[in-house]
Structure 1
């Protein structure tokens, strides 16, 4: 694996990123879920790097990126990506976002269509509510002495009961990553999700789009994926048997859908 690099955004936040795969190939940006880092994609990078220059990054507030104080906005998270692309002199990219990464993908498709070649929106939604739920999560992570309860909640939301039933190295790694996270950074991204509402504007997305959903997703329901695919002109929809982190739970089926859409066209 390559080393983690950093660049600084216009508002002074250092953002961590990694590049894998040969230069000169089409660039594929991977954007992860809230409460995860760019390592969420470790299982996919080697395969994707055979065809793409793979660009991963940590959201502000997560992993190796800075965690500025205060609420973050989806606009700010989207601009972080655009500034990273500008920094790396990348004019157009493919973009694959899962969960919060999918919110960012929708924002880019709406607000920066000239930068997006093909768009994959996985396990995401144009809007999640109610706001009071996210306000409660923000209060909890800011008040708690550690993030153990928050980590347990995410595990239940992300993985099927079978993976949670016994010792599972993958689940343990994701759990440990949350315990190491900045509460301030997590709260900032909860605010971005709370305030995001793209329901009226996603029909403006013009990039060829694939929507991937989990039939048993408890957070971004399968019906949310169906609604996105119905709203974006010409979008394809793939529903997989699984919960939320489909790239982890269903890596073979997930990669088949992704590579078919990006390569075998």
Structure 2
């Protein structure tokens, strides 16, 4: 997606709260809405956009409290994050889309699939889980960020997100991702930590009726393949792909990630016609 063919909009998702959304122009291509991990911005999807913009109408946004989006006072909730995504679709007059979310974004996708089924043509749930215990870990991380800022988390976050091999081979991209993490507003990050502390969508997964593909990273310490298997076991007809990556598989294994999405869309769209 070139700068000439896309635009950044600030879409109001509730009174006084606007999220930064990159919007590809209307077309006949399938619509995919991308939702980022906690601590990231929409730029974590750069590799995916580079590979797939010719095939899809891609819309990506910064989760509330992240990137260029507003940082409203909390508390945040998974219901609110899901409603944000729905509000983006409504503002763009998109009746339904395939939703692709990674980590926190995947949790948002599960909420949409369970609560707003008519808006979701399919779900791609990457490096995610239906809950993220223990709650105390997220509560302590929120408190630490409020006290010490985001820079204190950059090193440890990159260690979780990427394998040693990726870190060694891609120092420039790693540095850019470190800057992205460090620039995340502390209060936005803390608010989303509290979402991960409280949300549990396992009881609602049986309500998801759209096609679902789960993508996992073989080396992901945060949401290993076993957590993906829990999702697949709870959603009828869903399947799973495991990539040679850690937590941010869309960055670390971009070709394989794009292929997993492309295969899923081909199958889903064929079934719908």
- Same-fold call, TM > 0.5? yes
Which residue number in structure 1 is paired with residue 205 of structure 2?
A: 202
Alignment partner of 1:68 is 2:72: yes
Task: Provide the residue aligned with 2:27 in structure 1.
Answer: 23
How many residue pairs are counted as aligned between the two chains?
A: 264
Greater displacement, 11-20 / 106-115:
11-20
Ranges in structure 2 where 5+ consecutive residues have no aligned partner: none
2:8 corresponds, among 4, 8, 12, to 4
Are residue 127 (structure 1) and residue 131 (structure 2) matched? yes
Range with greater deviation from structure 2 (42-51 or 188-197): 42-51
The residue that corresponds to 1:234 in the other structure is: 237
Specify which structure has the higher proportion of helix.
2
The ranges of structure 1 where at least 4 consecutive aligned residues each deviate by more than 6 angstroms after the TM superposition are none
Give the Cα separation in 2 of the matches to 1:244 and 1:80. Answer: 24
Q: Does 1:32 align with 2:36?
A: yes
1:161 paired residue among 157, 160, 164: 164
Among candidates 101, 104, 107, match of residue 100 of structure 1: 104
> Does residue 1:180 correspond to 2:211, yes or no?
no
Q: Structure 1 residue 167: deviation in Å?
A: 6.8
- Structure 1 unmatched runs, 5+: none
Q: CA RMSD in A?
A: 1.4
Q: Check the 8 A contact 2:26/2:57 in 1, yes or no.
A: yes
TM-score normalised per structure 1: 0.95
Counterpart position of 1:212: 215
Shift in Å, 1:221: 1.6
Secondary structure at 2:68 match in 1: coil
> Deviations 1:12-54 (Å, cap 9, x if unpaired)?
2110001125523221101111111111111111332222211
Alpha carbons 1:105, 1:119 under 8 Å: kept: yes
CA contact (8 A) 1:21 1:50 kept: no
1:230-261: per-residue Cα shift (whole Å, max 9, x none)? 11001011111211111111111111111011
d(CA) in 2 for partners of 1:165 and 1:241? 16
Separation (CA, whole Å) in 2 of partners of 1:238 and 1:229: 11
**CA displacement, residues 94-122 of structure 1 (integer Å, 9 cap, x when unaligned):** 11111111000000000000111111101
User: Does structure 1 retain, via aligned residues, the 8 Å contact 2:214–2:241?
Assistant: yes
CA distance in 2, matches of 1:22, 1:256: 23
Q: From the superposition, tell whether residues 167 and 112 of structure 1 become closer, same or farther in structure 2 (CA, over 3 Å).
A: closer
